[in-house]
Structure 1
Amino acid sequence: MNQDRIEHFKKKYGEAIIANGLRLRPDDFMEEVEWRDAVDQHYTKIWLEFTYGGLYARRVLDERTRVLVAIAQFLTLNEMEEFEQLLPCALNAGATPREVLEVILQSTVYVGYVKAGRGAKICIRVMKELGRLHEITDSQLPMDGANGGRSLAAERPKWPKAESEEVAALREKFVEKYGWGSMSTRLRLQAHQGYETLKSFDRIDPHYLQLWLDFIYGNMYTRGILDDRTRLLMMVGICLAANEPVQLENHLRGSLMQGATPREVLEVILNSTAIVGMPTTIMTRRMLEKVLEEDGRGGELDLVK
């Protein structure tokens, strides 16, 4: 698009809005504006004001985190065109090619390996086209992932205190039976979840439980390519997009435990309005306030007392 057309849209829809869109999505933003403008200028105006003039100008979340969460959500929704368009945007926002791929690989836990594989192949193609694929191939983890330097002696003191002697005994049972590596990660990140799922699978299918613990907690969640705060905010976005309320509440708590502020978690929820619509966003906002209230942090989101 030539500069005259860009200036035309700046005058029509606002210079700051168009400039922000060009900053965030230099490759395709004007195409998105132009086709909307051709058929419905009123809708284009309010869409721009809500997104690039509103939500995407707030900067409550750093741009890198916001875009990585959105990539995971578009993958979850199988919106592959928008997913692909955001990959270069994540690089522009400061993410590395390896971090972008890691968002996709971590999504395996909630969307399965087929959909994650489809996203990974698109990511590989895009990075190759950008001349940055070597940044992925040259930064592979060793065969044992990031587990080589771990030890039970170093990690056990970091576990939260067991709520009772019964829970302490249950912990030791699972550590002995399924290995400390996965259980240590689960205790560090998700001790708030309780043990019902573990007890159930231990009773009905311990072989599956071993596979599940090893894959997710023993390996996926220990890779360390994304910090836990970013990874858990991404999981909040995925569960919101998938409309999965049980794990959504779990990851709201987990992201707060790993350093995300209530306002940052809320911002993931509010930004999701543009991607998944209003109803799920409203439900999740209520859930966040409930979690904060239960954790003794009620009122932390209030701007007006």
Structure 2
Amino acid sequence: MDPTQEDALIDRIAKGVSYSFRTPILRRPSDFEMDYEDVFFPAVDGVMLDGWFVPAQGSDKLIICNHFIGANRYGYPGHLPPWDQQGGFEVNLVQAYKALHEAGYNVLAYDLRGHGHSADGAGNITGVGAIEWRDVIGSMRYARSRPDTARMKVGLHSLCMGCNATFIAMARHPEEFEHIACMIALQPLSAAPFIERALIDQGVKNAYERFNERYSYYSSFRHTDSNAIAWAHAVKCPTMVVQVKDDVTTKPTDAQGIHDKLPNPDKKLLWIEGTPVRYEGYRYFSRKPEEMIAWYDAHM
């Protein structure tokens, strides 16, 4: 690439991760024979978030679920244009909620700010976790405010940007997480290997500096502000990290490094193999829920 082409690539990537985009909520729990309640609650900065509460009769266990960038509580309509560039298949997270429900778990699934039906925050800018941590704490405070969920055992199911946000929330406000029994961290992402894959491996010189210049221009953030590996030390609960091993958007050293930095010895790294497509990781537990259920059962 010549310098002009490099600049165009950097600009496109920086702009793409600076703004949230909405995709439709195509499915709901009732489509899978689950009763549910439409809920809404504030993030800690007042941004209103929408979600579903799916009750499991007689259960005292709650899983709080969020999602990856560009998705929503339902998942991602990747089987439909113009969103079919990430493998061409649907990510239906409701199927994972169904598996949790059948295993005896209540589910609270919510849209992060700027996604689904939740309100925008910071002018629709996304922080890839750097501002979305406020949503994570809002979801837990909401669960503690409900008479029917206030005393439940709580596990977290956090995906990509939602997982980065959870890590950052744990670092900023550890007191909010003292009651958390465990977590599944599905494809948390650090910016450095992402930039390596997208830019450095393409021959772009001074990629970090040039990316940060454009990223800050669009979002006011820097690539280090939401680095999952830098915040992993704050995750005190038992955690299973899940990652597509050959994911072309990052490198396996990132997930391994995140796992290694988790301070709780009760941890696990689950590799998803046989595909380079990151989005296969997002739908993994919707298709194969056994390891997800086993992790929560062992810790709740």
TM-score (norm 1): 0.27
The higher radius of gyration belongs to 1
Q: Which one has the bigger strand percentage?
A: 2
